[in-house]
Chain A
Amino acid sequence: MTTTILFLLFALVTLAGAIGTVTERKLFHAALWMLLSFFGVAALYVLLEAPFFAAVQLFIYMGAIGILIIFALMLTRGSMREGGPYLNDQWWLVALLAVVLLVVVGWLLWQQYGSVMAVHAVDEGSLVQLGRVLSEQDGYALPFEVASVLLVMALIGAVTIVRER
């Protein structure tokens, strides 16, 4: 019972934040709405009994990515002051398609997974297990390393692109 109410509450928060993000004219406010949406997702992760990811969500998304976006907003502030439309001329088609897509997919999902309920409780040592699986050779060690390489590349790439000549 509680779970349901909590779910509905945080789902609402998340969606509200998302919609706010995409409909807010002022960009800074949009970014704040986005942060709210991230928070809602983190709460949902707690409900899904994945506390680690809730933490990660807060650190990475709200912390790093959100701040990064705000920095970018500030760095590109000049031309986007006020005025002018904030939507391009295909927004209505996109809205339509998005709605259609949502309706169809949603209906399909309801058909398929409408009656699937949660299984038994999760084991407590899931974090240790995650760590173990990410470093085991026949686990996900290779993807882990590749991900590290990806991050390094991204770092180097970003620095290179943005470097002042």
Chain B
Amino acid sequence: MALELGQSEFEIERDKNKCISCEVCVRQCSNDVHEYDSDQDTIYSDNIKCVGCHRCESLCPTGALKIKNREAQFQTNYNWTPSHLKNIYKQADSGGVLLTGMGCDKPYTVYWDHILFNASQVTNPSIDPLREPMEIKTFIGRKPDSLEFEINKGSKDTGVKLKTKIPTQLELSTPIMFSAMSYGSISFNTCRSLAAAASEFGTYYNTGEGGLHKDLYQYAKNTIVQVASGRYGVDVDYLNKGSAIEIKIGQGAKPGIGGHLPGEKVTKDISNTRMIPEGTDAISPAPHHDIYSIEDLAQLIYALKEATNWSKPVGVKVSAVHNIAPIASGIVRAGADFVTIDGLRGGTGAAPQTIRDNVGIPIELAIASVDERLREEGIRHKSSIIAAGSIRSSADVIKAIALGADAVYIGTAALIAMGCHLCQKCYTGKCNWGIATQDPYLTKRLNPEIGTRRLLNLLRGWSLEIKEMLGGAGINAVESLKGNREHLRGIGLNDRELAILGIKHAGEAW
């Protein structure tokens, strides 16, 4: 097969004056891009194999390497873009479904970037979070319909006591959690970094559909265990280990379809954790075969509550699709303690490119419409809303909360903190950063000590920024911001978009 119509996406620029032929790039590349020629004492690089992960560039001790995007040399055509051509060439070669990793990278409107946050001036004071207490602690779980108190007027114990029994809540020291990424899709060291960071910071991470490795039991208090359509690794001990249970119906990157962990990634450790034979494909069906309606979902929710003795919140994760508001309403009525909504740009280890890029709706619109609908129906308090799907900064967190989310999940941002360069090749299992791989040569590259430290730094940095922004708006607790859309203004959005987001345009006052 000599005919190769594809073109390289990257150009590797090697500064010959700086390259010392130390071969670090050769050893670090799992795609065999670089090759050392000992006769000529020169390193040659093959552009076509490069995936643009920037590992070699980052480790090159002399800064001799530069990985550049290579402009596709096709005739300019606004209809047949280079990506269409390249994809057709690939499919004409392989005849298969085009796979990709991470979230949708198409230039759809990113609503976060069209929303501005408020600040106080004169009429109400702003607060300096360095001088005054600022509360960003938040609770996930069902809140009671009303509160009843017991007032004691006796001579001995006068006072007021809360009579209402509050359902179990997850206590988050910051409204940020790590989203579901399974052991299998990511390496053990990555899982451990997420778990250790969540545990040290007082927030939660999610096991994804990969079961819970026994070495992570020590972080059980900060674990949300997931029950997905393949039910991998699920037994009663697993359910009881976590602090909460999440039923996964869908994922933002691939709404409506299941998952597939190829057999070569099912190592001994993963087979034990997932409770499947070593080397077998782990296929998660598209639907749960026991859930075909809201009533079926309710059965599973209550079965899980029963299995865990009603001691843990049980939530449901769905991807943001067109009818998300009524779907979420149904989920809340089915008894879910929290609803996780994963938007269009949510990440994945592997998804068909056409689904990732064309199915679902942006998370900003989904949160706004779900929050609105649940309020209208008077059931907003029955469930917490967790927003996921490309939360890129503390500003996105604060906007999500003001639109109506209780907390957010970060997945991609957490991986980026650990070194991910978004090359979108997770599905190849050759992750040079040691994140999305099970190759023992590559998984060593993420030292969990470093991973944990970097995640903690990210959480700390974002939390400080959240406090600053809250203070600037004169709010001293994140709870007061929830669904407080008066603090948001749209910019460059049309009336329809503003109406769905439930916000005014910039310049419009009260």
A and B together in one complex: no
Residues of A within 8 A of B (CB): none
Residues of B within 8 A of A (CB): none
